[in-house]
Amino acid sequence: MTDDLRTYVQGHAGRITFARPKALNALNHPMCLTLERALDAWRDDAAVALIVIDAQGERAFCAGGDIAAVYHAGITGDFTTGQQFWRDEYRMNAKIAAYPKPIIAFMQGFVMGGGVGVGAHASHRIIGASTQMAMPESGIGLIPDVGGTYLLAHAPGHIGEYLGVTGARMTPADALYAGFADRYLPEETWPQIIQALCDHGDLRDMPSGQTPPNSSTLEAMRPQIDAIFSRPDLEQILTALRAADSEFGHKTLSVVARNAALSMQAAIQLIRIARAQNDICQALSNEYRFTYRACELAEFLEGVRAQIIDKDRTPHWQDTPDSLTSQRVQALLAPLPAQAGINFGAPAPNRAL
């Protein structure tokens, strides 16, 4: 048990509550392990009919992984801290996706990175007016992970490549359109819904979703996104953005210029591999190839330094889109040695995407 994550049984429900709102409920390693232990304990417990995951505070369900410890270990040459964290986190993500009982996630505020890995793999994914979802890892020299490449691969058209490369934030309508959420419900109704689920352990207490107040900008932009982000690689995507000479092209180029070229190209490849394989456990394994090597061989440490540690927002990337080689990307995506490989489980998702 950790004070940062509360796990307990309330009525017929197993309750999992993020409890570090001052840190935007960022997910650290002990929280991953606590969450996994709760899932394991309740899997075969007949008294627990369903799982409810929520969070304290109005600002965030979970704004991402707490990676400061990974950074501080990495700069000393300790790469195992990050490897162990991501291994355990991905195993937990796989268990959520394959869980045999309903998991209902109530996701307010920021839902990014590690928060997506918890909430967006649940069987029932609830969002409200404050929800902002994103996979912004390319901005810190990582890749969309926690099963994010699987979710992005199943977004309409090439929306997934766009979101993975740019890290763009999704509004509630965007999250529904992209397949990261199932139902929009007013946040003021959530406590009453959760209480009913706990009292009865019955999904019939879940109301039907409502239509968000604003339409999806992703849906409106999809023709432009598909035309550009269907291109074979990052270089050709950037060429198409420049040639478009449009407001969309200019805005997207300004965002992409801040992100790590190595991460963006790897994200494109991983999303397309996930689309072809259609297996969340394999997607997690493929993501782990990159994150296992991220501290040593990628630009993760520099990205975290610039965005989270020093906060100068000026990462000095080793690679640019022009200098990036395919060999550099493939070195990070190659199969891991046998002693490092891990099986994240059988592909048995509890929700059809």
Both structure tokens of 328: 């550099």
Q: Residue 353's pLDDT band (boundaries 50, 70, 90)? A: very low
Are the C-beta atoms of residues 82 and 29 closer than 8 Å to each other? Answer: no
- Mean pLDDT computed over every residue of the chain: 95
Q: Residue 182 has which token pair? A: 């199932």
User: Domain limits of the chain?
Assistant: 5-333
Q: Is the pLDDT of residue 333 over 70?
A: yes
Fold of 5-333: 2-enoyl-CoA Hydratase; Chain A, domain 1 (3.90.226)
The CA distance from 64 to 134, in Å, is: 10
Q: Indicate whether 291 pLDDT > 70.
A: yes
Three-class SS state of 133:
strand
Closest C-alpha to 116, from 51, 69, 163: 163
Q: Give 197-228 pLDDT, tens digit per residue.
A: 999 999 999 999 999 999 999 999 999 999 99
At 103-146, the pLDDT tens digits run 999 999 999 999 999 999 999 999 999 999 999 999 999 999 99
φ, ψ dihedrals at 198, nearest 5°? -65, -40
Q: Which band of pLDDT confidence, cut at 50, 70 and 90, is reported for residue 341?
A: low
Q: What is the pLDDT of residues 230-266, one digit of tens each?
A: 999 999 999 999 999 899 999 999 999 999 999 999 9
pLDDT of residue 322: 92
The pLDDT value given to residue 347: 56
pLDDT computed for residue 352 by the predictor:
40
What whole-number distance in Å separates Cα of residue 229 and Cα of residue 272?
11
Q: Report whether pLDDT(348) > 60.
A: no
In tens, the pLDDT along 264-287 reads 999 999 999 999 999 999 999 999
281-304: buried (b, 16+ CB within 10 Å) or exposed (e) per residue?
bbbbbbbbbbbbbbbeebbbbbbb
Mean pLDDT of 8-25: 98
